[in-house]
Amino acid sequence: MPKNCNFIEKLREVGLRPTKQRVKMCEVLFNREKTFHFTINDLVKLLSEKMNQKISLATVYNTVHAFEKKGYLKEISIDSHKSYFDTNTSAHHHFFDEDTHELIDCDESDIDKINIRKNITGKKINSVEVLVRVASDNQTQK
Amino acid sequence: MPKNCNFIEKLREVGLRPTKQRVKMCEVLFNREKTFHFTINDLVKLLSEKMNQKISLATVYNTVHAFEKKGYLKEISIDSHKSYFDTNTSAHHHFFDEDTHELIDCDESDIDKINIRKNITGKKINSVEVLVRVASDNQTQK
DNA sequence: ATCTACATTATAATAATTCTAAACTATTGA
DNA sequence: TCAATAGTTTAGAATTATTATAATGTAGAT
Ligand SMILES: [Mn+2]
Ligand SMILES: [Mn+2]
Ligand SMILES: [Zn+2]
Ligand SMILES: [Zn+2]
């Protein structure tokens, strides 16, 4: 668990200026054991409440999209009404908990490799991702 | 290819009043050979241009959601910025063409049955769906 | 220390969706 | 048949998420 990692370096490497705001965002996003799934609002709340970093909403949007473009973050579509982001930028599968609206990553080993038999002329496959929707089991019990 | 199907009956059966607007929408949505994937805007445009049915946007939203609740339509999440709907309400897989933003259904036979090894305590699986993103092949050709 | 390009900010603008409340209509049953 | 009623459509306002604008601030270079 590396505390103040060298995010300044990391940002420089991809050509983003290591501003105070971006470094703080890196700490919130990447100083973690596990993949982090979040919405813009989650992130704003974390920054202001846990990190005491006042930051404008526009900057959070801009910076998240800058990180996305540079390959630090990936946008996930599970709900057409909200944007989720993911610190795991590889193509991977998810469980989505419909009760809590939480995303959980699947390990490679959790799902067999998907075999696509159909192919679409002139098109190549960019990614294959599975979404497993789960919900509480006890509501159907008598 | 049934022309003016009995949508009035169909609507009554699930407890929706067969108003002029709903019947027209049924014709647009369900009088088809194949699955139809659309956005609210697609639908409004079809209704006004092809069917000559002036209809308020609020009614299209309300009616699409009424249909969704009754199981006639299903909402699909491929893009967090837009809502797509599907006349195929079963859990099924899709190709998404990133060039044209078109959805294409997968047949059962196109993808092997997905085997999920992980299970989440207290949660049951509601659906397992695969999204295959495809894009034009020729841009990577030299 | 100064310069310059890039970033942040508050705020305004836009776009998608939902709400509101009035007008309308399909159904019921007197 | 025809009013009563419950549900529906509508225009327009409101809300929410997101993006644009333009002024101010700052990191990195010289
Ligand atoms: Mn986005
Ligand atoms: Mn919806
Ligand atoms: Zn993930
Ligand atoms: Zn479909």
Q: Do A79 and A103 lie in a common domain?
A: no
Q: Which residues of A touch B39 (CB under 8 A)?
A: none
Provide the pLDDT confidence category of residue A142 given band limits of 50, 70 and 90.
very low
What are the tens digits of pLDDT across the range A34-52? 999 999 999 999 999 999 9
Q: Do A40 and A61 lie in a common domain?
A: yes
Q: Do A55 and A76 lie in a common domain?
A: yes
Nucleotides of D under 7 A from a protein CB: 7-13, 17-21, 26-28
pTM above 0.75, yes or no: yes
3-state SS, A1-51, equals CCCCCCHHHHHHHCCCCCCHHHHHHHHHHHCCCCCCEEEHHHHHHHHHHHC
Closest C1' nucleotide to B11's CA: C26
Residues near ligand 3 ion, CB 5 Å cutoff: A 86, 88, 105
Mean pLDDT for all residues in chain A: 90
Task: Give chain B residues 6-65 with Cβ within 7 A of strand C.
Answer: 12, 17-20, 39-41, 57-58, 61, 65
pLDDT value, residue B139 = 56
Q: Do B26 and B71 lie in a common domain?
A: yes
In the numeric block, which tokens belong to residue B58?
Answer: 């609020």
pLDDT value, residue A137 = 86
Beta carbons of A140 and B134 less than 8 Å apart: no
pLDDT value, residue A20 = 95
Q: Do B48 and B29 lie in a common domain?
A: yes
Beta carbons of B97 and A118 less than 8 Å apart: no
Q: Is-contact A141 B135, C-beta < 8 A?
A: no
Q: Do B9 and B69 lie in a common domain?
A: yes
Q: Do A66 and A16 lie in a common domain?
A: yes
Q: Spell out the long-range contacts of B65-68 with Cβ–Cβ below 8 A and sequence spacing 24 or more.
A: B66/B16, B67/B25, B67/B29
Question: Strand C closer than 7 Å to the CB of A51?
Answer: no
Mean pLDDT value across residues A109-137: 92
What are the tens digits of pLDDT across the range A68-100? 999 999 999 888 788 899 999 999 999 999 988
Q: Is-contact B100 A116, C-beta < 8 A?
A: no
Separation of CA B127 and ligand 2 centre (Å): 18
Query: Which percentage of chain A shows pLDDT scores above 90?
Result: 77
Q: How many domains does chain A have?
A: 2
Question: Strand D closer than 7 Å to the CB of B77?
Answer: no
Q: Which residues pair with B103 in a beta bridge?
A: B96
**What does B52-69 look like in DSSP terms, one character per residue?**
-----HHHHHHHHHHHHH
Mean pLDDT value across residues A113-142: 86
Structural domain including B55 reads 1-88
Q: Do B73 and B34 lie in a common domain?
A: yes
In the numeric block, which tokens belong to residue A38?
Answer: 């979040």
B38 compared with B3, residue with greater pLDDT: B38
What are the tens digits of pLDDT across the range B33-73? 999 999 999 999 999 999 999 999 999 999 999 999 999 99
Of the candidates A74, A76, A73, A27, the residue with the CA atom closest to the CA atom of residue A47: A27
B129 compared with B82, residue with greater pLDDT: B129
- Smallest CA–CA distance from B82 into chain A, residue: A80
Q: Do B73 and B16 lie in a common domain?
A: yes
- Given B78, B98, B123, which is nearest A77 (Cβ)? B78
Q: Do B11 and B72 lie in a common domain?
A: yes
pLDDT value, residue A111 = 93
What size, in residues, is chain B?
A: 142
Provide the pLDDT confidence category of residue A5 given band limits of 50, 70 and 90.
low
In the numeric block, which tokens belong to residue A115?
Answer: 């075999």
Q: Do B9 and B49 lie in a common domain?
A: yes
Q: Which residues of A touch B137 (CB under 8 A)?
A: 122-124
Residue keyed to tokens 């993949």: A35
